[in-house]
Amino acid sequence: MRTFEQVISAREWENQHVTHHNVVAAHAPLKAYTSKKNALNNQESDNQLSLNGDWKFKLFDRPENVLAITVEPDFDDSAWDNIAVPSNWQLHGYDKPIYTNIKYPFADKPPYVPFDNPTGLYRRFFEVPKHFVGMRQTVTFDGVNSAFHLWCNGKWVGYSQDSRLAAEFDLTDFLVEGENQLSTMVMRWSDGSYLEDQDMWWLSGIFRDVTLLAKPKVSIQDVQIVTLLDACYRDAWLNVTTHLNQKNAANRVEVELFDAQGNSVFGVKSANCGQRIIDEKGPWLERTEHNIYVENPRKWSAESPYLYRCVVTLFSGEEQLDCEAYNVGFRCVEITDGLLKVNGKAILVRGANRHEHHPETGHTMTRATMLQDIMLLKQHNFNAVRTAHYPNHPLWYELCDEYGLYLVDEANIETHGQFPMCRLSDDTAWLNAYMRRITRLVERDKNHPSVIIWSLGNESGIGGNHHAMYQWTKHRDPSRPIQYEGGGSNTAATDIIAPMYSRVDKDQVHHIDPTVTPKYALKKWLGLPGEHRPLILCEYAHAMGNSLGSFNKYWQAFRDYPRLQGGFIWDWVDQGITKIDENGTKYWAYGGDFGDEINDRQFCINGLIFPDRTVHPTILEAKHAQQFYQFKLLGTEPLTIKVTSENLFTSSENEQLSWTITEDGLVIESGEMRLVVDAEQSLELQLIRALPEAKIGKLYHLNLQVSLIADTAWAQAGHTTATHQFELPSSQSLLVKRVKSKSALSSALYIDNATVSGEGFAIRFNKETGVIDSWIVDGEEKLISGPKDNFYRAPLDNDIGVSEVDRVDPNAWSARWDAAGINDLDVECIDLQLFDKPNLVEVVTQFTHKTRHGVLMATIWTYHISSDGSVSIDVDARVAKGVPPLARVGMELGLPQQQQMVEWFGRGPHENYPDRLDSAHISRYKVSQDEMHTGYIFPSENGLRCDVRQAQIGELSVQGDFHFTVSRFAQNNIAQAKHTNELKDSGMLFVRIDGFHMGVGGDDSWTPSVHDEFKLDRERYRYQVELKF
């Protein structure tokens, strides 16, 4: 028994050779059911006692400052604070959250940690239930960051680290009848922190559940369940290996399998310990094995997650001693023919990387939040999750089994901040620490059908420790493949080529040393000599803010090349933390917002959804690209389509197809039918015999929508699962011209201005600026700021290009725009002329846009002002050589701000950009002006709607072929703001109309990732729009 002083002096939190003391060997989760009925129904066991709730808490500067008396049961802790368990103490006002992507927030001197090492002392009294007396009692901490010592009734129990896996301690010899007391000393930093350098917040404390479990003296210690399918993937073998905590050939184990309706599948199968001879020394006396043939069980997959319930009961003679139960999914995972297959079918991974994060509870996840994530994932056509970058809460796996998600289960290892990255991975002194993290992961999660791949960790280079992990895992569980990205994505320690952020067609040169082997393009990987493994991107499509441009190109490649089997988007949820400013305004904070001087600012804000689980527009593009139905227009006379199902195991029996034909966005024909297409099959459908006669100047589209007929476990009836839009033949895709009034116009050219007026309107141009400075209709001023050139956008995260606070990437778009002066142009009107013409007045203005380097752009604006008050504007823009590609070529004007609706005929209803618009179909939409704004946590350009023919913003009507957005915020305010609470209402409504807009990019966020066809790098641009109040 150690004294408190010995615990402190040993400093095991700075010794990579010591990962634990007195921790029970890892095993599958145990519940200690009191009856087979309770086990079958997964009812809460009477042999479990939750120790969640309020604990007494005090934070010390370092472990050495903790007093020995504070772990004694009779210590008076009444003056201490209460803290909720589970939780992170930084979110309860203690210490501060720190966010880094790569660098350690402390000096990199492994295994040593900072002298100042915040240490939380937790204390809890609890009553042991009377029926626990005489039983073996253990306490399990499901997650503690980063290392902790445990005392029970003042006696030292043990030590553990690895913040993401359970630590279980045997308290049988420490507990007494009645009241007992636990003390837990948690260190923020330990040598284990060097292995947990993941791209996330550094948070501390007891952040997962704490549970007391009582089991009989002779009990089930572990259960392993393996399902094997025959060569036809029809019949199966159910292999159940049961480990007991004592050797006794008289012990008997019964196994019974139940279907989802509670019916026994094969009755009770019984086996005694020691029945199977292992080698010349004999059998295992503490194990039983059941190998049971099951005829044609229903199979488990993400599409159809059918679960059986396996009940394992221990007997001594006729006395039932113990009972455990597990959900079972009959499924087979294998790699054959260079393809990853589930139940014999090559899957397409529609995946996301998911951190465990909540804006108010940090790393503490509730069942409700987990379910919310699963529903959103399934509703947006995801079928897989990588548990980036650590084992998740045990409940997550049960829910993924139930609702149907494939999991890549990842070991809690990342050493991204090491130089080189593999320094610890290739150091045998750290081998035990690495092995503990993979062995305990596999032992805990081995029975989950949702886990189809093991991962050795993330961004830790490659070293001997990884090869040891790989070999052990292959031996322990040959039923699953293993993946690991480090060391080039294709080492001998991975069964799957698992690169991150590889482009589809273009190799990437190393950003530091161009002579280093580039990151190959996806298609190139497949042609490497002797390479036959499947390729699944462990990370791709960096969804940071306004991103995910050209995402459809990945999915075209996945569908064109069978060995490209999808990937995992980075990442699922913005890791913002709720914060309230001095004015009471709530916003989401990121790195640096808590005084954390070492930080990577908003690089943790790269999710498909906001922290509160509302969705980004980007997830809608992902949903469309990943949808399970593909459509092809076969002909228009008759109108015939082909529907192809990418489901591998399920038919479309619960889905219907609705279709409409629209004329300029208005429905003129429609129909719906039950969709009847089997898995992996296609169906040809004739919708109508002939198209309606096309009218001149009208646009026609065929719109397809697949939706659920009845509720499912993850969505309600009516939920849309797939959409597609085809453009149909039109007589002319031209703008319908307004019928112009022929009433009289008058015009005048003065020293300071030029005016044009007609019946009910008057327009004035300022000769100095060349811009309309007054537009009066029926005696009311309609403009605050007239239309003027706009070549700038508030930089996106992808435009900024770096995560480091102290570094600017000179190749990033924003840096190049700043260097060129595009965000601070000196605009000069060099000419304004006015011409009277039949039924209109023509005004021509010319501008130069200069910096100290010279003229960057020159524009000519030609206005045709008609007698009905409409103003047609032709903008001819010329760009000087050497100017970097522009963000946009368009105009901006300001309207009086009113709560007005915005209507348009174009792409929508959600935000879309030229390289991210497949999910945004052309139709007519109407939203409030505030709904046009996307409140990205790090403010940036947002809210664009593309390919618009007509728009109505309050009283302003716009026609042409353009993109547009409206906003209450000035561009320079958006560009300068670091958080949403810094956006200031301008008092006007900015309308930004673009003839051209650069793509947003998104292959990654640290290189210029806008594809060439979406760059504005020409020397001349021309567009036309018509405005009218």
Displacement of CA 273 from its chain's centroid (Å): 47
d(CA 677, CA 547) in angstroms, rounded, equals: 34
Catalytic residue from among 539, 892, 941, 1026:
539
Cβ neighbourhood burial of 42 (10 Å; 0-12, 13-18, 19+): middle
CB atoms within 10 A of CB 404: 25
Between the CA of residue 249 and those of 216, 268, 275, 541, what are the distances in Å? 17, 19, 8, 56
Alpha helix (H) residue ranges in 846-898? none
Give the CA-trace dihedral at 560, 564, 566, 571, to 10 degrees: -120
CA atoms within 13 A on the CB side of 884: 19
d(CA 445, CA 398) in angstroms, rounded, equals: 10
Q: Are 206 and 87 in contact (CB under 8 A)?
A: yes
Please list, residue by residue across 699-712, b when 16 or more beta carbons sit within 10 angstroms of its beta carbon and e when fewer do. bbbbbbbbbbeeeb
Asked about 539 being catalytic, the answer comes back as yes
> Residue 179, SS3?
strand
DSSP secondary structure letter of residue 794: P
d(CA 386, CA 384) in angstroms, rounded, equals: 7
Q: Are 1008 and 811 in contact (CB under 8 A)?
A: yes
- Cα-based angle 815, 817, 823 (whole degrees, multiple of 5): 120
CB atoms within 10 A of CB 671: 12
d(CA 41, CA 677) in angstroms, rounded, equals: 35
d(CA 202, CA 1019) in angstroms, rounded, equals: 48
d(CA 13, CA 658) in angstroms, rounded, equals: 62
DSSP secondary structure letter of residue 881: T
Between the CA of residue 117 and those of 12, 90, 414, 444, 500, what are the distances in Å? 13, 14, 21, 30, 34
Closest CA to 353 of 558, 155, 92, 575: 575
CB atoms within 10 A of CB 261: 5
- Residue 189 φ then ψ, to 5°: -115, 140
Catalytic residue from among 324, 459, 621, 911:
459
Q: Are 124 and 51 in contact (CB under 8 A)?
A: yes
Alpha helix (H) residue ranges in 446-595? 464-476, 522-526, 551-560
d(CA 208, CA 167) in angstroms, rounded, equals: 11
DSSP secondary structure letter of residue 194: G
CB atoms within 10 A of CB 293: 10
Instruction: Work out whether the CA dihedral 787, 789, 791, 794 comes out positive or negative.
Output: negative
Closest CA to 750 of 760, 772, 771, 765: 765
Residues in the chain: 1029
The residues annotated as belonging to the active site are 459, 539
